[in-house]
Structure 1
Amino acid sequence: PSRKSNDELIIREWPAIQRIMASLGQKQVSQATIVRKLSSYKRQNQTKKALWELDSLCRTRHILRFINDVDLRRSIQKALNRGEAYHRLRRAVAFVNGGRLRVHTEAEQQLWNECARLIANAIIHYNTALLSRVHEQKRAAGDEAAMTFIAGMSPVAWRYVNLFGAMDFGAATTPVDIDALASYYADPEYWARMLQATADEEDEES
């Protein structure tokens, strides 16, 4: 609110802005390349100034929506929580090794990072598959409350995983029975306790 936007500059440079947006949308060029090229001019580039003005308008609109819209704030907070949950999972995987990279070369460090990412993704995939099966069973039973609850759950969970155990990525001799596990978690009594515990936590927070 400290100043007004330069609308005339945006309108004047709009054809150039559209070409840049089209190039980005078609993946013909990266954002970094656009910024580097616009910043390479000796004199202040008018298209870059117009982009900065347009960015200020977009950010101002977003901030005002964030202030006025409770649902938007909740959605943004959920997205941030999910991202932070993934980072906590990666830290939990790294903590198994004392939180230190015991490698000597850059190639070994890259391999360690890829292995940690593989373990994290395997845990998320397992959780997603299990939640999907439970959701299917609840949908067949017509349990709308449970379906809504599952839709808001994050698949980033690892408390039940023994990260200090031995990891075997070979062919499993006894495949995990996802359907049997889903049936356990889809039990009406289990969900009654789950929903009650969630309601109690919300009451304590309020």
Structure 2
Amino acid sequence: MRNIKDLVLYNADRRRKYKHIDSLCRQAIDWALIERHCTDMMRVAVSIKAGKMTPSTILRRLGSESTKNKLYFAFRELGRVIRTLFLLKYLNEPDLRRTIHAATNKSEQFNDFAQWLMFGGEGVIAENVRHEQRKVIKYNHLVANMVILYNVQWMSRKLKELQQKGHPVDAEVLKVLSPYQREHINRFGDYLLDLLRSAPPLDPSIDFAFKSAA
């Protein structure tokens, strides 16, 4: 988890001392503040869940009056509780840390791949209008997913051919492969599109017929 050393834990009770993590705690949770505004916070949560109000609207309203809005401070205090519980679980469970680390790596690899594909203008979004910015991002992700689909389908076919020729293809081979291959892509140059050429059918039923080493 990025910058975890800068994240702060909050003590559930200022009167209690914790042997191994007390130095990580900045201050105690104000439970009275949460209790005092619990009903209002529940109303906000129900409104969001019912679709009557968007989270962005709530954040904007709370943020604009954050110095005076008691509900803002109550939500912030509740957020500290939730984050502290999660951080304690993260510190205590190696499996959770491994899962988060793997997911973070995948996310960063995809972002790097999408950024590489968005080569025009150094990947900078020049639009000032919000919905136009969203279009650029969505188109970029669409292109990235199209290339990923091509890569996975192509690798699957080649691996199946190797397997049919008697070469072993197991979990140890597959776990080092990545759908973010880019060496075969020419980003700069002419693109000749033959819209009349029929594409080979996708085969979603490729089965490598092996048991995972896990």
Q: Return the alpha-carbon distance in structure 2 between the equivalents of residues 125 and 40 of structure 1.
A: 44
Establish whether residue 71 from structure 1 lines up as the match of residue 95 from structure 2: yes
Instruction: Summarize the alignment of residues 158-173 of structure 1 with structure 2, pairs less than 5 Å apart.
Output: 158-164=182-188, 166-167=190-191, 171=195, 173=197
Distance 1:154 1:26 in 2: 40
> Structure 1 or 2: larger helix share?
1
Q: Secondary structure at the match of 2:26?
A: coil
Q: CA deviation at 1:123?
A: 1.3
2:200 pairs, out of 176, 197, 200, with: 176
Q: Any unmatched runs of 5+ in structure 2?
A: 1-24, 159-169
**Mean Cα displacement is larger for which, 38-47 or 7-16?**
38-47
Alpha-carbon distance in structure 2 between the residues aligned to 1:116 and 1:169: 19
For the 8 Å contact 2:37–2:74, the answer to whether it is kept is: yes
Question: Using the alignment, how far apart are the partners of 2:97 and 2:86 within structure 1?
Answer: 11
Structure 2 residue aligned with 1:120, among 137, 140, 144?
144
Matches within 5 A, 1:61-100: 61-95=85-119, 97=120, 99=122
In structure 2, relative to structure 1, the CA distance for the partners of 1:115 and 1:15 (3 Å cut) is closer
Aligned length: 173
Which sections of structure 1, spanning at least 5 residues, go unmatched? Answer: 135-144, 196-206
Q: Give me the whole-angstrom Cα distance separating, in 1, the residues matched to 2:156 and 2:40.
A: 46
* Aligned residues of 2:66 and 2:73 also touching (Cα < 8 A): no
User: In 2, distance between residues paired with 1:76 and 1:91?
Assistant: 22
Mapped contact 2:118–2:140 kept (Cα < 8 A): yes
Cα distance between partner residues in 2 of 1:33 and 1:10: 21
After TM superposition, the score normalised by the length of structure 2 is 0.59
What per-residue deviation string (whole Å, max 9, x for no partner) do you get for residues 108-153 of structure 1? Answer: x96876654432121133346678999xxxxxxxxxx74xx67x97
Instruction: Indicate how the Cα distance of structure 1 residues 132 and 17 shifts in structure 2: closer, same or farther if over 3 A, else same.
Output: farther
Cα separation, 1, equivalents of 2:53 and 2:71: 17
Shift of the alpha carbon at 1:52? 0.9
Contact 1:82–1:156 (8 Å) recurs in 2: no
What residue is the counterpart of 1:14 in the other structure? 38
Residue 200 of structure 2 aligns to a residue in which SS? coil
Counterpart in the other structure of 1:28: 52
Partner residue, 1:198:
none
What CA distance in whole angstroms lies between the structure 1 residues aligned with 2:149 and 2:80?
39
Identity of aligned residues (%): 26
Deviations 1:18-50 (A, max 9, x none): 111112223332223212323444862222111
Q: Measured at CA, do residues 11 and 117 of structure 1 come closer, stay the same or move farther in structure 2, by a change above 3 Å?
A: same
Partner SS state of residue 197, structure 2:
coil
Structure 1 range deviating more: 37-46 or 20-29: 37-46
Farther off after superposition, 27-36 or 165-174: 165-174
CA 114–37 in structure 1, closer or farther in 2 if over 3 Å, else same: closer
- CA RMSD in angstroms comes to 4.4
TM-score for both structures, normalised by structure 1: 0.61
